[in-house]
Amino acid sequence: MSAETHTPPPAERSPALQSLNNFIFLSRWLQAPLYVGLIVAQGVYVYRFMVELWHLVLKTTSLQEAELMLMVLGLIDVVMIANLLVMVIVGGYETFVSRLNLEGHPDQPEWLSHVNAGVLKVKLAMALIGISSIHLLKTFIEADKLTDKVIMWQVLIHLTFVVSALMLAWIDRIIAPPKAEH
């Protein structure tokens, strides 16, 4: 004998309440222009990357190793910020506005199939840690030009990002623990 679960039909709603519900749900589309704006910002970063790359190529023979490393770290920083933008644009749109319906698409990012607000926050926090790490590495390379106070604050800010990411991941795990595998 199997137990059947029966879900009752949704309660009848007044047309006014249903219209309000539809209007509220439709309001998510107000975020779409924000994502388009982030795509424009990403284009600005692509331009910035190309300008910095061109400067690197032109100055290659005259750069000291530390200067070369700082310029390359600057390029990596731009790429990491662009990656962060992609996560926010694609993940945020998919989570809060509308499904992208990319199932089976050869270029679908692996993480997109299990993205939700909690996962997105943790991924963004990890990206911020990566960006902060690049800035901290630049700081250490130029440590002789900076005060101890500036270096201390940058390390503390970086550690704050790390602790925040750990807390976000821990909270996400508490709220949505991983499913047990059989």
Closest CA to 53 of 37, 79, 71, 35: 71
Q: Is residue 8 part of a domain?
A: no
Q: Is residue 9 part of a domain?
A: no
Q: Is residue 100 part of a domain?
A: yes
pLDDT tens across 24-72, in order? 999 999 999 999 999 999 999 999 999 999 999 999 999 898 889 889 9
Long-range contacts of 63-70, Cβ-Cβ distance < 8 Å, separation of 24 or more: 66/141, 69/141, 70/138, 70/141, 70/142
Q: Is residue 69 part of a domain?
A: yes
Q: Is residue 62 part of a domain?
A: yes
Q: Is residue 21 part of a domain?
A: no
The parent domain of residue 100 ranges over: 26-175
Q: Count up the domains in the chain and report the number.
A: 1
pLDDT tens across 107-119, in order? 887 777 777 777 7
Q: Is residue 6 part of a domain?
A: no
- What is the average pLDDT score of the chain? 86
Q: Is residue 70 part of a domain?
A: yes
